[in-house]
Structure 1
Amino acid sequence: MTEFHRFDHLSAREIRDTVQAVYARAYVEAIASGDPFESLEAAMRRFDAYTNGAGFDLVVLYSDGEAIGQAWGWPLDKASRWWNGLYLDDEDPGFTTEDGTRTFALSEIMMVREHTGRGYARALHDELLGGRQERRASLLVNPTNDHAYARYLEWGWSRAGMLRPSWAGAPTFDVLTRTLTS
C-alpha cells in the first residue's frame, strides 16, 4: 500500500533522517561520482537551508511504511534568490517578479532506484503541485539528464532559460516552467 504524507518546514526538519535516507538511496550514482555538489552532506545543507522558513512543502511517498520517494518546494517571494543567475530564452522583463503567490519552486523530486518506472515520480509531482495556489511552477533540470528532462516535458513543462544557482559547485541547469491550475 502506498500513501503520501505532507510536511511543512517544521515537521520536515523532524524527519530529516528519512529525507537523508531517501536522498542516499535515490542518488547512489551521483553521490558515488565524488562531485561535491552531489554529496549527501551538501544535499542536506541545502535541505536545512530550504526548511528555514515558512512555505516549505514536502511530500513523502511511503510504500508499506517505508519512505520510497519525496518531492519538495516553496512559493517564491520578493526576496527570493531563485532567479539569481537566470538567462532567459526570450526577453521578459517581468519574468522574475515575485510576490509569494506567482511561482512555486519545485526544488527536488526523487525516487529510490528500486521503485522507479512505476509512475510514482509522476504521482509525487502531482501530489506536490495539486491544489497549489500559485499561478505557475518552476524547476531546474540538468540538461544532460535526458530521462528526467523528457518526463518533465511530457508532464507539461517547457524551457524558459538557464540558470546556475549560487550553491558552491552547482552546475548550470535548464529552467522549466509550467502553468498551475487549482
Structure 2
Amino acid sequence: MTAENIEFRRATDIDEVLSLLIDIYATVRADLLHDPHYSVERYSERLARHAAEPGWEAIIGFDGDQAVGYAYANTVQPHDRWWRRMSAPLPQSVMERPTIALKEGMLLPRWRGRGLARAGHDELLATRPEEQVMLMVNPQAGGGKVKALYEGWGYREVSSQQPSMDGPVLTAMLRAVRQPAASADAGH
C-alpha cells in the first residue's frame, strides 16, 4: 500500500528495526527527552518489553529509503495486565475478545496532516486476526487533537490507566479492527 508515494513495510523482528524506531522516537519526542518518562532509555525498555509480547508487529512508512513514521502493536491476552490496570474495569466479554493493542505510533513532523498516520494505522490492522483494537492516548496530546483524531477513526473512550507512576494518565479507547466503510471515513 502507498499513500503519497509512501511504502509501508511490516516488521515482526525487533532486531531488524530497533535503531530505526528509536531514531524516529527521539526526533518526534525531542522536546520531552529531558523528562525521565519520555527518555530514550525508557522508550527503549518499553519497546523491548512490547516486542517480546505475543503478536508484536510494526508497520513503518518509507519515502524511498527514509523512514517517515511507524506504528506497532501486539496481541493482548484475556488475563494480561493491560486489562487489570484499567481505572474502570471493563466487561469480561470485552476482555475475552481477541484484541490487538496499538502501543505506539509516531510520524515525523513534516509528514503530518497528509493522512499518513491513518494509512499506516489501517495498513497495520489490515491483516490482523483480532476482532478489536485498543489504544491509550494522552488526552492532552496536541491540545486534545490526537484523541479527537482517534475518535474520528471510530475509537470510543472506555476507561483510563496510568501505565507508569511518572507518566500521564491515559485514555483507553476501543473499536472494531474492521470498521464498516461509512465509519472508517468518519471525520475525513
TM-score in same-fold range (> 0.5):
yes
| Paired position in structure 1 for 2:149 | 151
Structure 2: how far apart are the matches of 1:97 and 1:116?
Answer: 33
Q: What are structure 1's unaligned runs of at least 5 residues?
A: none
Matches within 5 A, 1:11-50: 11-31=13-33, 34-50=34-50
> Which contiguous aligned blocks of 4+ residues in structure 1 show a shift greater than 3 angstroms?
none
Q: Give the 3-state SS of the residue equivalent to 2:70 in structure 1.
A: strand
TM-score by structure 1 length?
0.87
Structure 1: how far apart are the matches of 2:128 and 2:120?
Answer: 14
Structure 2: how far apart are the matches of 1:92 and 1:7?
Answer: 31
Q: CA deviation at 1:181?
A: 2.1
Matches within 5 A, 1:161-172: 161-165=159-163, 167-172=164-169
| Paired position in structure 2 for 1:65 | 65
Q: Is the 8 A contact 1:83 1:96 kept in 2?
A: no
Q: Is the 8 A contact 2:53 2:74 kept in 1?
A: no
Query: Is 2:6 the counterpart of 1:6?
Result: no
Matched residue type, 2:168: P
Q: CA deviation at 1:92?
A: 4.6
Larger displacement relative to structure 2 (17-26 or 151-160): 17-26
Structure 2: how far apart are the matches of 1:12 and 1:92?
Answer: 31
Q: Which of 84, 100, 103 does residue 99 from structure 2 map onto? A: 103
Structure 1: how far apart are the matches of 2:29 and 2:84?
Answer: 26
* Aligned sequence identity (%): 28
Residue by residue over 1:133-174, the C-alpha shift from the partner in whole angstroms, topping out at 9 and shown as x without a partner, is 111110000111212111101100000011111x35222101
**Hey, which of these two has a bigger chunk of helix by percent?**
2
Query: Is 2:183 the counterpart of 1:181?
Result: no
Larger displacement relative to structure 2 (73-82 or 102-111): 73-82
| Paired position in structure 2 for 1:136 | 132
TM-score by structure 2 length?
0.85
Q: CA deviation at 1:13?
A: 2.1
Matched residue type, 2:69: G
Q: Is the 8 A contact 2:83 2:95 kept in 1?
A: no
